[in-house]
Amino acid sequence: MEPFKVHILGCGSALPTLRHFPSAQVVEVRGKLFLMDCGEGTQIQLRRSRLRFTKISAVFISHLHGDHCFGLIGLLSTFGLLGRTAKLTVYSPAALATVMQQQMDTFCRDLEYEVDFIPVDTMVQQVVYEDRSLTVETIPLEHRVKCCGYLFREKPTLPHIRRDVADFYGIPVSQFDNIKAGADWTTAEGEVVANSRLTTPADAPRAYAYCSDTRYIPTLHERLKGVTTLYHESTYGEDNHLRAEKYFHSTAREAAMVARQAGVCQLLLGHYSSRYEDEQVLLREAQEIFPNSLLTDENKVFDV
């Protein structure tokens, strides 16, 4: 299967600590790289990850809180210093474009590439990006400011050719696309070889949902059907449940409830409050509800 990975660059929350960077991660899909949020230190973490700056084709910003976008202006400047010429598309709530344009006019006046800001409607779920193999949809979330997550879905692929059978019947490679599309094969002797003997089923499409800052939404799972891997913020444990409600955040237990209700394969926890020196307490609370819960950490890579 083609690579579909999540590279964690930062999984802390607003208050800086020595243990975690603010929110940022790279979604790698079939050789393409997409940056999810861009907190302070994202560039340093990109260097440590050994991911190529030049391969980032788009940036997705969930909301306009500093721990999710303070690193963006520095990244744009570095792209310029590296000689980038390819357009960079930034998907975000509409207000970011005005803020960033002011900064770019001051700090990035000589960029030799275009930065295209695409406003997203955080109130609706809709496709905002599409290419031959992938779609990206917004996921409406509920936070103190306009906020949305993003859902990456692979498009269905064609079946696989059974090379042993194809070689046995001497089928030329030039006919493989037709067979993948459903055609049978007729031998020189007139024998019809059914398509079902020539192919194996296509890989099931995978999907990754990035649910940034949000309070617990009882109906969120309805938007996540078919998701393979879910990242859901888990800022607090149950010991700070009232604080989570006050600041429109979620507990690890609530994140696990969403994962269980949505029927995902695995849950990634993140956006940890600086109050926790050991996130194991968050992991235990999540695993009581959804056993396949995992802690994110800087420089970890997860297969979707």
Residues annotated as part of the active site:
67
Q: Token digits for 99?
A: 């803020």
- Tell which residue, 208, 179, 174, has the closest CA to residue 193: 179
E strand or H helix at 289, and its extent? helix 280-289
Question: How many CA atoms lie less than 13 Å away from 258 in the CB half-sphere?
Answer: 30
Contact between 160 and 199 under an 8 Å Cβ cutoff? The reply is: yes
Whole-angstrom Cα Rg for the chain: 22
Tell me the sheet residues that pair with 138.
150
For the chain, the straight-line distance linking the first and the last C-alpha, in angstroms and rounded, comes to: 11
- Provide long-range contacts, Cβ within 8 A and 24+ apart, for 129-132: 129/58, 129/89, 129/91, 131/32
Contact between 301 and 5 under an 8 Å Cβ cutoff? The reply is: yes
Q: Token digits for 121?
A: 């409607």
Category of 136 on φ-ψ map: left (φ > 0), alpha (ψ -120 to 50) or beta: beta
Q: Token digits for 83?
A: 């000689």
The three-point CA angle 179-180-183 to 5° equals 35
Tell me the sheet residues that pair with 154.
134
Contact between 259 and 267 under an 8 Å Cβ cutoff? The reply is: yes
The three-point CA angle 150-2-83 to 5° equals 70
CA 160 to chain centre: 26
